Amino acid sequence: MITRQRLAAGVCTLLAALAAGIAVPADAVADETTPQDPPKVNLVLDVSGSMRARDIDGDSRMAAAKQAFNEVVDATPEDVELGIRTLGANYPGNDRKTGCKDTAQLYPVGPLNRDQAKAAVATLQPTGWTPIGPALLKAADDLEGGNGPRRIVLITDGEDTCAPLDPCEVAREIAAKGVGLTIDTLGLVPDVKLNRQLSCIAEATGGTYTSVEHKEELSGKVNQLVDRAADKVVTPVAVDGTDQCSAAPSLKSGLYTDREEFGRHRYYRVELEPGQELRASVSVADDRQVAPDYGVTLRAVTEHGREIVRGEATGTGRTDVLSTGLRYPKPESDDESTPAETVCLEVANSFSPAAGVKTTPGLPLELTVDVVAGPDRASDVASFGLGRGWWLLGALVLTGFLAGLLWGWLSRWRFAIWRTN
């Protein structure tokens, strides 16, 4: 569980940053000339009766949520289309069938009128049931249309009360449609069952789960998630790594996604010509509760398993994602017949699942591969070797030698004068 002091870092922001400088193959992403529609975010707020509880910095959960919404509305980027959907806001009765239909679109997804959005949220009062599953289905419908990124941010203080429509199954159903929609969840109560359910919902769509207990945490996290939607999106290519190098898929420059089981290895192959440089990085997301100590390793090895270079990252506590990278320049060759070298990229992790957490599917990972022209050894002094810096080294050595001779001569001269006197 995320502690009060440490919120999860932005997974998607980091992954987009890793992809920013690479060349993606034409078959990996849509034509860059195709215009992308504005990103869409649907904020789904629990307005059930339990939101009256006054346990967030001395105020009610509802008041904290309203404050967070107002701050988020003010900070929402101009190019983000924002909507607000409620669950449990309108029916105060005891009829379960009616209560489980209580979800409504409070503010339609579209260009944001900040004053209207704030006015709509101000009218909300804690009322009824907690139909999370039905609300997620409707929220996904609210986001239909367009080719931009889409995100649902669910804020709730309790488990769904409308089973058998399991919200985890709803999230898996949404993910199975392949619509590129991410669901992030925020829990306002440190409850084990609630945490498990919200983690499951987020996990199904590659989103994040955060437990928050303070107003500033809530505002900051929702702002972060809305901002993520505005980040430039590079669509990764799904690839299946293998448990041995010989059968691994061959990758070109691009961004790839895969899943890796806890404590396992995944292999991928890259062909490197003489004079080229391989730049690779990997990010592994712990999209569920894990043990507090963990690490990720990315190694470049030969086909026979000899390590060439590695990158490592370790952590403790809780984070959304752990990343590392490496660089390997293949020296130029005077022999034009020198064949390309097969480099195997090995990804390994030391994450351990917390008690009771499902281990399948594996942890999501994103791998960037960039094969570029290697450094100019004659002019790139800072990269690999001294290059033209030899003259400077020689000058420093000569200067030191002459300075030593001069100092020795002066010392002998001063000693001779001292003995004479």
Please check whether residues 41 and 125 belong to one and the same domain: yes
Look at residue 106 and tell me if it is in a domain. Answer: yes
Q: Is there a single domain that holds both residue 206 and residue 301? A: no
pTM above 0.75, yes or no: no
Q: Is residue 395 included in any domain, yes or no?
A: no
Looking up residue 258, the CATH number of its domain turns out to be 2.60.120.380
In a domain, 23, yes or no: no
Question: Do 76 and 198 belong together in one domain?
Answer: yes
Judgement on whether residues 69 and 205 belong to the same structural domain of the protein: yes
pLDDT at 109: 94
250 and 225, same structural domain?
no
Task: Judge whether residue 155 has pLDDT over 90.
Answer: yes
137 part of a folded domain: yes
Pick from 71-80, 190-199, 265-274 the range whose average pLDDT is largest: 265-274
Domain end marker among 229, 256, 279:
229
- Sorting pLDDT into bands at 50, 70 and 90, what band is 78? confident
- For residue 220, the one-letter residue type is G
- The reply to whether 394 falls in a domain is no
Q: Is the peptide bond before 361 cis (omega within 30 degrees of 0)?
A: yes
User: For residue 385, is it within any domain?
Assistant: no
Among 357, 373, 389, the domain boundary falls at 373
Q: Taking 50 as the threshold, does the pLDDT of residue 280 lie above it?
A: yes
Higher-confidence residue: 309 or 386? Answer: 309
Helix (H, G, I), strand (E, B) or coil at 268: strand
Number of domains composing the chain: 2
| 213 and 268 inside one domain | no
Looking at the structure, tell me whether residues 187 and 258 fall in a common domain. no
| pLDDT-based confidence at residue 420 (cuts at 50, 70, 90) | low
CA distance 64 to 226: 18
Statement to judge: residues 241 and 224 lie in one domain? no
Query: Which domain does 280 fall in, by range?
Result: 237-373
CA-to-CA distance for 301 and 304, rounded, in angstroms?
8
Q: Are residues 329 and 258 in the same domain?
A: yes
Write down which residue in 358, 373, 388 finishes a domain: 373
In a domain, 99, yes or no: yes
Same domain, 254 and 139: no
Does residue 101 lie within any of the structural domains? yes
Q: How many CB atoms lie within 10 A of CB 10?
A: 19
Distance CA 317, CA 217 (A): 17
The CA-CA-CA angle for residues 111, 112, 115, to 5°, reads: 150
CATH classification at residue 67: 3.40.50.410
Quote the Cα angle for 32-37-38, to 5°. 120
| Cis check: omega of the bond before 35, within 30 degrees of 0 | no
Q: Whose structure tokens read 């929220």?
A: 139
Predicted confidence (pLDDT) per residue in 93-148, tens digit = 999 899 999 999 999 999 999 999 999 999 899 999 999 999 999 999 999 888 78
Count other C-beta atoms under 10 Å from residue 60's C-beta: 15
Q: What angle, rounded to 10 degrees, do the helices at 167-176 and 132-142 form? A: 20
Check residue 375 and give its pLDDT. 60
pLDDT in tens, 23-49: 334 344 334 445 678 889 999 999 999
Amino acid at 66: K
Query: Same domain, yes or no, for 153 and 203?
Result: yes
- Average predicted confidence (pLDDT) for the chain: 81
270 plus 312 within the same structural domain: yes
